[in-house]
Amino acid sequence: MSKHILVCLPISAEQRTRIEAVQGFAYRFTTPDTATVEDALWADAVLGNLPVPLIRQNGHLEWFQSNAAGPNNYLEPGVLPEGCIVTNATGAYGLAISECMLALWLSLLKELPTYRDNQREHRWAPTGHSVGSIAGSRVLCVGMGDIGSNFARRAHALGAEVVGVRRTVHPDTPCPDYCTRVVAQSALDAELPQADLVALSLPGTPETLHLFSAERLALCKPGAILLNVGRGTAVDGEALAAAVHSGQLSGAGLDVTDPEPLPPEHPLWAEPNVIITPHVTGGFSLPKTLDNIVDIFAHNLRRYAAGQPLDNQMDRRTQRRTAAKHTVKQKTAAQLCGSFCFCGLQHHCACARQASMAVKMASLVRVAPVIASAPAVEPVCVSCAASVSAALPPSSGVSAEASTCTAVTLPPVTVTVTVTSPMQPCAAEV
């Protein structure tokens, strides 16, 4: 039976054709707003940020391809099955977000927010202040992934001196030609007093939480500008507002905040030299971004079909991208044989492990009462027989002699599912 691929993105007909060109799969297309429980339970693999309340109901999902670079919500315990491979959209957003970073930077350098305010009041009033320039500026790019690297290239091309900051730096890794040097995060405090612009594109991890505290903001060069387009949690928002208000920083450009949305009473709203956008630079307003995501997915889909390790894999413990080490495991006869469908469960179990899986699968059904049966099938080997009693209670009538080499056969097994409510866990019994 073909694997089920659920695409949960507002893609075009042409993009759909590129995905469906990878043969050997059954496809279903939806969007986050129109996706249903049936869609979620149907899928073996998902492209796109299917709403968490839906995707967490799928206990057999093999692969989740996020349309985000940092799919933090999906990495939380209990959202995805333990063995589900998670891949992100690194490589999709560099162009769109880095161009927005340049726009924010230039707007602050050239005092455009002030002139926009004057325009609303019909005031023809030069500020009389000196303005800054990209050329000759010292830029500190904190985070040198896809987004940070793209911004560093563009800043360098416009005449800035760029220093990159990575979590760690290996001695044998060459410095890119658009950077003067790349330093480890341990050198951050030493670099901050020299930077005219501090550009953050960090993931949201425990290590980056309020990395830019009041103490670290105080280390910044007086009059510096701060940009944050990664995760809002990297910056203490109250401390940032105070730093701009005091003049320690001349301005800030923020596409992300902590919390999101930013509460109406937050002091950042009142700072005229702070530009805030509602986490939109990484959306799909630039069509090329969605096109990139489709390309990333189609590439991984071909690897999935070939049984090869997937690119852009995420470490669910550290919430960071890792090397492509793991291949999506195909379901074996000892795990799950037969089918799982919306209208019911039909499992043809060849060993006790499969009967146990039938119970687990039945517990996922939260929309209607279901009865699933697993009839007696072919014998199983002695190694499987050893787990029979552990998987099924004595009332099942199963017997196995693990000390012998004789095969055993499972009798019919009935799994009864009791549904409490549409969004509550079910009770399942054998």
Tens digits of residue pLDDT in 32-49 = 999 999 999 999 999 999
Q: Which pLDDT tens digit goes with each residue over 153-207?
A: 999 999 999 999 999 999 888 999 999 999 999 999 999 999 999 999 999 989 9
Confidence (pLDDT) at 425: 34
Strand order in the sheet with 197-200: 181-184, 161-166, 138-142, 197-200, 224-228, 249-254, 274-276
The dotted CATH code for 3-91+286-321 is 3.40.50.720
Q: Which sequence spans correspond to the domains of the chain?
A: 3-91+286-321, 94-276, 338-429
Average pLDDT of the segment spanning 228-240: 97
The packing angle between helices 287-306 and 13-20, to 10°, is: 10
| pLDDT higher than threshold 90 for residue 407 | no
Question: What whole-number distance in Å separates Cα of residue 272 and Cα of residue 320?
Answer: 35
Strand order in the sheet with 344-347: 338-341, 344-347, 370-374, 413-418, 427-429
pLDDT above 90 covers a percentage of the chain that reads 69
Confidence (pLDDT) at 394: 47
Question: What whole-number distance in Å separates Cα of residue 201 and Cα of residue 181?
Answer: 18
Q: Which pLDDT tens digit goes with each residue over 315-368?
A: 877 656 665 555 554 433 333 333 222 223 232 333 434 444 443 433 333 223
Confidence (pLDDT) at 328: 55
122 confidence band (pLDDT: 50, 70, 90): very high
Provide CB contacts within 8 A for 102, sequence distance 6+. Answer: 151, 154, 155, 158
Strand positions, DSSP E, 294-337? 314-315, 320-321
Would you state the CATH architecture of domain 94-276? 3-Layer(aba) Sandwich (3.40)
Query: How many other C-beta atoms lie within 10 A of the C-beta of residue 202?
Result: 26
| pLDDT higher than threshold 50 for residue 400 | no
Of 146-155, 220-229, 309-318, minimum mean pLDDT range: 309-318
**Nearest in space to 349 (alpha carbons), one of 300, 404, 408:** 408
CB 220 within 8 A of CB 197: no
Provide CB contacts within 8 A for 163, sequence distance 6+. Answer: 138, 139, 140, 141, 179, 180, 181, 182, 183, 191, 195
Provide CB contacts within 8 A for 373, sequence distance 6+. Answer: 346, 347, 412, 413, 414, 415
Question: What whole-number distance in Å separates Cα of residue 18 and Cα of residue 9?
Answer: 14
For residue 142, list its beta bridge partners: 165, 200
Catalytic residue numbers? 231, 260, 279
Question: What whole-number distance in Å separates Cα of residue 303 and Cα of residue 417?
Answer: 37
Domains 3-91+286-321 and 94-276 agree in fold: yes
Identify the three-state secondary structure at position 228: strand
- CA distances, 164 to each of 138, 272, 302, 388 (Å): 11, 29, 34, 57
**Nearest in space to 421 (alpha carbons), one of 351, 366, 355:** 366
